Structure 1
Amino acid sequence: MTHHLTRRRFLQISAATAAASALPLRAAEPFTLWGPPVTPTVLLAVAAEMGEARKIRPFTVKSWQSPDMLRAGLLNKSIEISIVPSYVAANLRAQGQPVLLHNIMTRGLLAVMSKAGTISDLGGLAEKNLVMPFKNDMPDIVLQILAKKHGINLENRITYTATPPEAVTFFLQKDYPNALLPEPLASA
């Protein structure tokens, strides 16, 4: 098996090596990791308090409360490192911002909850009311695209909240039979 080193791969390795060589210089400086109020951020918080990584370089974890807060923080540099929706990273990069994307999580972060039993497919939401966070943002954009693709009209069926915890409150205390919620709120 022959491996050829392309120019692109060489530049990637060189950039990573240069960045890694600066790490010992900043190893003692604490930093803040940001994330949405969902499971991956909770895991970061646990790692910050109990994980081995904190011995290498101490860090704290904070949660941004809305995609607007995230975008503003990234643009004004008050948020330097964050878990972000992939489309936010793509949009910022398209605007010329120096964004580095290290990982994309694709499964298990959202769940449709129903007071009337299991919803096994998107058709189960047809003609039903739904509460969810973040109008015109993730996950609303994806839900609207999928609903349109499957011929499901969700117009006037969705009530939007500013944050995921607010969506949980509406789902539990008001007359909303369904909610689209991120983890860990969906499991709680």
Structure 2
Amino acid sequence: MTKAIDATSNQPAVSDLTLQRQDEFYAEHRLPEPTAAGTEGRTYCFRVEFQHDIWPLKSMLSWAIEKWWSSPMCPWGDADVKVTLKPNTLTLEEVQWLFDKVGDCHVAMQTVALEMNYTGDRSYLDADEMGAKVPNALALKSCLEGLAEWRDALSASDDRAIGAEIELELAFEEQLALEATYDGEKH
């Protein structure tokens, strides 16, 4: 069976049904309505490629977050995020700089924009070309503390997973031995 190829991109063609499903998914999970004019704080929107991209970004910004919303992950990839930061915390250029420092979160860095300017389109520029700026020392310290808390939570979660894995491996070996004995008695 051969797949149709889109002549313009040399990629597999997408069926009309797939495009319709994408449109339905995005209509159902669209970003919340824009923040009312005159509200405090700055509201930014951006995309992430994977759910696990959200956590380092959210942890790093945790000290400054007033509101956070993210769409469910789309079966075709990206999720949208909308975050309102407390007043006088971070500028767009500082958020871009911070996002650039998180490994493999380039889609977030390339799409982040003030809510009123958000399109979801990637800029494909690097952080310097976008005018990204290093936040002040206090903001950087707060971001570091948020990341440390996230790392500690991951470590505790990892310890639990390892403990459960050990318990299950022991139970598996015991169960195999019991079933082998049982099978041996049966014959």
Report TM bin, short chain. Answer: under 0.3
Which protein shows a greater Rg?
2
With structure 2 as the length reference, what TM-score do the two structures score? 0.22
Structure (1 or 2) with the greater helix fraction: 2
With structure 1 as the length reference, what TM-score do the two structures score? 0.21
